[in-house]
Structure 1
Amino acid sequence: MSATTFDIDSLKVILREGAGMDETVGFDGDILDSDFEALGYESLAMLETASRIEREYGISLDEEAFVTARTPRALIALVNDHLTASRSA
């Protein structure tokens, strides 16, 4: 895909397709600052999410940085930083 930006809607699609959705979580609300674990996404689901992001956006995420991105807002920023860096390389 190699898109130029990554936003909350992009993340929701990847979470739904790759990791499924916890039906008990209000996924359509403001989730930007919610911890992924509180949203029902454990480490295995997040590994699948990282793999899909890398594949669909043509980037390689630093594992340590990915692990510290505990909220959608932090993950979106991380992905967009990588997208920006790959465009300027």
Structure 2
Amino acid sequence: MSASAFTLNDLRTVLLEAAGTDEDVDLAGDILDNDFEELGYESLALLETAGRIERTRGISLDEEALAGARTPRQLIDLVNSHLTVAATV
């Protein structure tokens, strides 16, 4: 399990590995508060992304909380909250 914080760059990498990107979307831009659908990521792509995050970070993300993470910022915060809990256990 990795104890380091999950960052926007980490998320960009996982998104690209899990689902690729639409040629019209610039993941290098300021995307923190863009809805994942605006970025071209549907629920299946986000489930694959979450699965990769869970495997690489050694955490388990609650499906309901994951469904509520509609933006990169919300997903990053969710992952980091789980990392914090895992580090204290």
TM-score tier, shorter chain, comes to over 0.9
Deviations 1:5-57 (A, max 9, x none): 10000000000011111111121110000000000000110010010000000
User: Where do 1:1-89 residues align within 5 Å?
Assistant: 2-89=2-89
* Paired residue total: 89
Cα distance in 1 between the residues matched to 2:4 and 2:29: 25
Other structure's SS at 2:73 match? helix
Deviations 1:55-84 (A, max 9, x none): 000000000000000000000000000000
Other structure's SS at 1:40 match? coil
Which TM-score applies when normalising by structure 2? 0.96
Other structure's SS at 1:79 match? helix
Which TM-score applies when normalising by structure 1? 0.96
Contact 2:2 2:57 in 1 (8 A): yes
Structure 1 outlier segments of 4+, above 6 Å: none
Could you tell me which runs of 5 or more consecutive residues in structure 2 were left unpaired when the two chains were aligned. none
Could you tell me which runs of 5 or more consecutive residues in structure 1 were left unpaired when the two chains were aligned. none
Percent identical residues: 63
